[in-house]
């Protein structure tokens, strides 16, 4: 079986791999033994995700790009990546490495030029897009001033760990996705007990200030630090309220 020494700056350390290996699905005892180490393949997948290059450009020392993509896609479709993330979050929360002060924000990414010619009947492909999650009808693509763009809405704790994510077309507003992204927070507990879904404090900018969002936070007993807009303050003063 081929092996790879951890030499690249962003590859998994021995300590990180030891924690991750315990969360991986058991290897099948059927068929031929694997030619490539799981650690080697996962480092290659992480390299590609971090760099954003085509799969064919992944350095050969990580293994054939077809093998890397095959593992990535297989685990995407059967939910293995989701299970690894859920287990990692549960362990982190049990060790008090997740702070429950949550920041909500979004970022817009310009789509690749090839996205302009994407097929509209993806569900008819031999291997449809998506995995355990449904593919958005618009594929998360919207046309704005910069062309085709995608917007990622994130809820992150103060240690910069992502707790939930919503992907929309780039021209979609931020405020309507505030509640959906908070509802997706679900950190399981080790042992018994319901998953934790409620943060202690939510931080956001003016784009997320609205009556609906604030009412949702009050209903769930979540403290918030969201500045209000100048026109909203003026309206409240005109009505005689603070």
Q: pLDDT tens across 16-67, in order?
A: 999 999 999 887 777 777 888 999 999 999 999 998 889 999 999 999 999 9
Q: Which two tokens stand for residue 174?
A: 């931020």
Beta bridge partners of 107: 152
Residue 66's pLDDT is what? 95
Residue 6's pLDDT is what? 45
Q: What average pLDDT score do residues 70-79 get?
A: 91
User: Picking from 101-105, 138-142, 176-180, which range would have the lowest pLDDT averaged per residue?
Assistant: 138-142
Residue 164's pLDDT is what? 93
pTM score of the predicted model: 0.80
Residue 119's pLDDT is what? 64
The CATH 3.30.420 portion of the chain extends over 101-110+149-242
For the chain, how are helix, strand and coil distributed in percent, rounded to 5?
A: 40, 15, 45
Looking at domain 101-110+149-242, its CATH class is alpha beta
Cα 27 to Cα 4, 18, 37, 48, distances in angstroms: 19, 16, 11, 23
User: For 90-106, what is each residue's pLDDT tens digit?
Assistant: 999 999 999 999 999 99
Q: Map tokens 């908070």 to a residue.
A: 182
User: For 182-196, what is each residue's pLDDT tens digit?
Assistant: 999 999 998 888 999
């Amino acid at each position: 079986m081929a092996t790879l020494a951890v030499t690249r700056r962003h590859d998994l350390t021995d300590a990180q791999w030891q924690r991750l290996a315990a969360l991986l699905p058991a290897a099948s005892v059927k068929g031929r033994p694997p030619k490539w180490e799981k650690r080697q393949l996962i480092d290659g997948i992480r390299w590609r995700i971090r760099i954003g290059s085509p799969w064919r450009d992944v350095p050969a020392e990580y293994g054939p790009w077809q093998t890397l993509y095959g593992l990535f896609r297989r685990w995407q479709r059967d939910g293995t990546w989701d299970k690894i993330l859920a287990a990692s979050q549960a362990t982190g929360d049990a060790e008090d490495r997740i702070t429950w002060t949550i920041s909500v924000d979004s970022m817009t990414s310009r789509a690749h030029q090839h996205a302009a010619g994407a097929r509209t009947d993806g569900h008819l492909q031999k291997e449809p897009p998506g995995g355990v999650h449904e593919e958005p009808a618009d594929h998360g693509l919207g046309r704005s001033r910069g062309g085709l763009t995608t917007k990622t809405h994130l809820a992150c704790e103060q240690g910069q760990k992502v707790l939930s994510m919503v992907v929309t077309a780039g021209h979609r507003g931020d405020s309507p996705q505030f509640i959906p992204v908070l509802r997706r927070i679900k950190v399981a507990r080790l042992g018994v007990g319901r998953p934790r879904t409620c943060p202690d404090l939510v931080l956001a900018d003016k784009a997320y200030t609205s009556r609906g969002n604030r009412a949702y936070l009050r209903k769930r007993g979540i403290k918030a630090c969201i500045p209000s807009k100048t026109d909203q303050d003026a309206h409240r003063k005109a009505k005689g309220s603070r």
